[in-house]
């Protein structure tokens, strides 16, 4: 970890390159946990494929792109320590979880251990498949308590553990590698929701299933997601329709109708992430999180929730008494051109005490952007 002098962000070259690689923002975009800004190359690659569809026909164009798609599965697999054959393109993280649960066909009532702060739509999906979410032990910040997790796995093992590597409502990085090791030792599969983790933190942690989305920290297009499963899990899955005979089994979970142009845009975005150097990118994102928290904590009475040094770029803030978060988000956008998110308690009702403002800048942010936000608050 490179630590930079206070008041400076590490690896400014990455910020400059990221900024130069994409269209100029209309304002200050500090909202990558919702949706990042795509690069010009990713946009052009997707447009190029869409044009091919118009020229050749959608299915002929998809066939022509298959080599590129397969290279993409390979590099996406590499982000989590899996192989191209373990990867399926889907439409979103939510669609990935549904595809997994559809295929897994676990008996109704099967217990699934997840964080008390689990993303509410994931709780909904587990329930829709008849599964019973049960809380993993956590500390006061919502971080999994490893001793408690080890005890749970030993004394009363769930059917699987479902972990949000970085939650949606808080910039806490869960100890996913440690939990993966505990799960492996206990013979309990670990399913990792990496929607906020891919492109943001190290996701090569040894999980059995990983799923995520293109548009957040990987800065790919919307409407694309990925589902990855190791062969031992894939063997337990039964697809709705059998896949092609010569294809890896996970391909049966890839939606046959899909935004192929978007998948190609995502592959470009992953290529750019790898070219930038994921380690350096993570160092800069950690520095950004630290600077954001230092500049915003206490600004106009807003309070930062995350520990100051949490190695993520996401910061959430609780409002001073009487200040409405949704109205603040609208005011920041309308009057200052600053894009952030307002999250209501319903996002993670098991953990959130009230609404928060979420600030999630990507590599291109400047200290001046963050100071402008503090000033606007
Ligand atoms: C955004 C998010 C999802 C859902 O991703 P989609 O691509 O919108 O389906 C799931 N889990 C977490 C933790 C998220 O932040």
Alpha helices (runs of H) in 258-348, residue ranges in sequence order: 260-276, 278-296, 325-336
**pLDDT of amino acid 187:** 98
**pLDDT of amino acid 256:** 85
Residue 349 has pLDDT above 90, yes or no: yes
**Residue 1 banded pLDDT, cuts 50, 70, 90:** very low
Residue 56 has pLDDT above 90, yes or no: yes
Pocket test for ligand 1, best of 133, 195, 201, 224 (most atoms within 8 A of CB): 195
pTM of the entire predicted model: 0.97
SS3 state at 119:
coil
pLDDT in tens, 308-329: 999 999 999 999 999 999 999 9
C-alpha angle 58-60-63 in degrees, rounded to nearest 5? 110
**Residue 6 banded pLDDT, cuts 50, 70, 90:** low
Measured in Å, residue 220 CA sits from the centre of ligand 1 at 14
CA atoms 267, 272, 278, 284: torsion sign? negative
Which candidate, 82, 88, 62, places its Cα nearest to that of 243?
88
Dist. CA 202–CA 183, nearest whole Å: 18
Q: Is the CB of 310 under 6 A from ligand 1?
A: no
Measured in Å, residue 213 CA sits from the centre of ligand 1 at 7
The CB density around residue 275, as the number of other CB atoms within 10 Å, is: 9
pLDDT in tens, 231-286: 999 999 999 988 888 999 999 999 889 999 999 999 999 999 999 999 999 999 99
Sketch out the chain's domains with CATH numbers.
12-30+277-376 (3.90.1150.10), 42-275 (3.40.640.10)
Residue 5 has pLDDT above 80, yes or no: no
Residue 300 has pLDDT above 50, yes or no: yes
Structural tokens at position 168: 């949606």
**pLDDT of amino acid 2:** 47
**pLDDT of amino acid 102:** 98
Dist. CA 350–CA 331, nearest whole Å: 28
pLDDT in tens, 101-142: 999 999 999 999 999 999 999 999 999 999 999 999 999 999
Q: Which atom of ligand 1 is nearest to the CA of 91?
A: 7
CA-proximal residue: ligand 1, atom 2 (nearest): 195
Q: Is the CB of 119 under 6 A from ligand 1?
A: yes
Dist. CA 129–CA 240, nearest whole Å: 15
Asked if 83 and 77 count as a contact pair (C-beta separation under 8 A), the reply is yes
The CB density around residue 85, as the number of other CB atoms within 10 Å, is: 18
- What values do phi and psi take at 83, rounded to 5? -100, 165
**pLDDT of amino acid 7:** 61
Q: Is the CB of 32 under 6 A from ligand 1?
A: no
Helix (H) or strand (E) holding 76: helix 66-79
Pocket test for ligand 1, best of 101, 114, 123, 168 (most atoms within 8 A of CB): 168
pLDDT in tens, 80-98: 999 999 999 999 999 999 9
């Amino acid at each position: 970890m490179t630590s930079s002098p206070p008041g400076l962000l590490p690896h400014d070259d990455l910020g400059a390159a990221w900024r130069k690689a994409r269209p100029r923002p209309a304002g200050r975009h500090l909202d990558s946990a919702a949706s990042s800004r795509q690069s010009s190359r990713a946009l052009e690659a997707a447009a190029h494929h869409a044009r091919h569809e118009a020229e050749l026909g959608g299915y002929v164009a998809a066939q022509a792109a298959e080599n590129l798609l397969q290279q993409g599965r390979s590099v996406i697999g590499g982000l989590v320590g899996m192989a191209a054959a373990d990867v399926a393109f889907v439409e979103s993280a939510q669609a990935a979880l549904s595809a997994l649960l559809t295929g897994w066909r676990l008996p109704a009532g099967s217990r699934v251990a997840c964080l008390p702060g689990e993303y509410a739509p994931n709780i909904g999906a587990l329930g829709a498949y008849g599964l019973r979410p049960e809380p993993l032990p956590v500390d006061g910040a919502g971080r999994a308590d490893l001793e408690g997790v080890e005890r749970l796995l030993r004394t009363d093992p769930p059917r699987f553990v479902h972990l949000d590597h970085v939650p949606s409502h808080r910039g806490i990085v869960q100890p996913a590698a440690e939990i993966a090791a505990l799960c492996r030792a206990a013979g309990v599969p670990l399913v990792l929701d990496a929607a906020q983790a891919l492109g943001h933190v190290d996701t090569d942690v040894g999980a059995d299933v990983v799923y995520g989305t293109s548009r957040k920290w990987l800065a790919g297009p919307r409407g694309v997601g990925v589902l990855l499963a190791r062969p031992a899990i894939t063997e337990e899955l039964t697809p709705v329709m059998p896949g092609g005979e010569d294809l890896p089994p996970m391909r049966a979970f890839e939606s046959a109708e899909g935004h192929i142009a978007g998948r190609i845009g995502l592959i470009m975005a992953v290529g750019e992430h790898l070219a930038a150097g994921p380690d350096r990118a993570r160092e800069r994102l950690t520095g950004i999180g630290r600077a954001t928290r230092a500049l915003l904590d206490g600004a106009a009475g807003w309070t930062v929730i995350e520990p100051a040094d949490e190695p993520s770029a996401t910061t959430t803030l609780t409002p001073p008494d009487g200040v409405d978060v949704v109205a603040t988000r609208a005011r920041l956008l309308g009057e200052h051109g600053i894009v952030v998110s307002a999250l209501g308690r319903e996002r993670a009702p098991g953990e959130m005490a009230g609404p928060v403002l979420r600030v999630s800048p990507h590599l291109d942010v400047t200290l001046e952007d963050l100071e402008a936000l503090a000033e606007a608050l």
